[in-house]
Structure 1
Amino acid sequence: MAEKKAYPLRINAEILSAVQAWADEELRSANAQIEYVLREALRRAGRLPKPAKKKTEDGQ
């Protein structure tokens, strides 16, 4: 899994409250919910980088 970096986020209180309620329903933290929503948006837009191919034991 990729390294996680801290990023300060300024967010409207109403939006944060809605995200927290959504996260609670899906048994996630608000932070995990925001990351999930961003990842899904990136995936749908075709903007997620392709995962690096793993090398086999013989180096190929």
Structure 2
Amino acid sequence: MSASEEAKWACDPDISFNYLGQFDQDLEHSALRISPLSTGEAISGRRQRASALECNGMIA
């Protein structure tokens, strides 16, 4: 592996993106429903962040 390839994989990004997928067709055809119940905390308050900014997204 060249030095430039090693540098590319050695970076430590400050932003994390997590695309969860597209759910609009599943919702239209009743394969899934949005729950009226609270989900509670998505992540433990004791968890240490991997990035300064974390973005999760989905199409519904």
Measured against the shorter chain, the TM-score band is: under 0.3
TM-score by length of 1: 0.23
Work out which structure has the larger RCO, using CA pairs closer than 8 Å and 6 or more positions apart in sequence: 2
TM-score by length of 2: 0.23
Q: Which structure's residues are more often strand, by fraction?
A: 2
Between structure 1 and structure 2, the one with the greater Rg is 2
Q: Which structure's residues are more often helix, by fraction?
A: 1
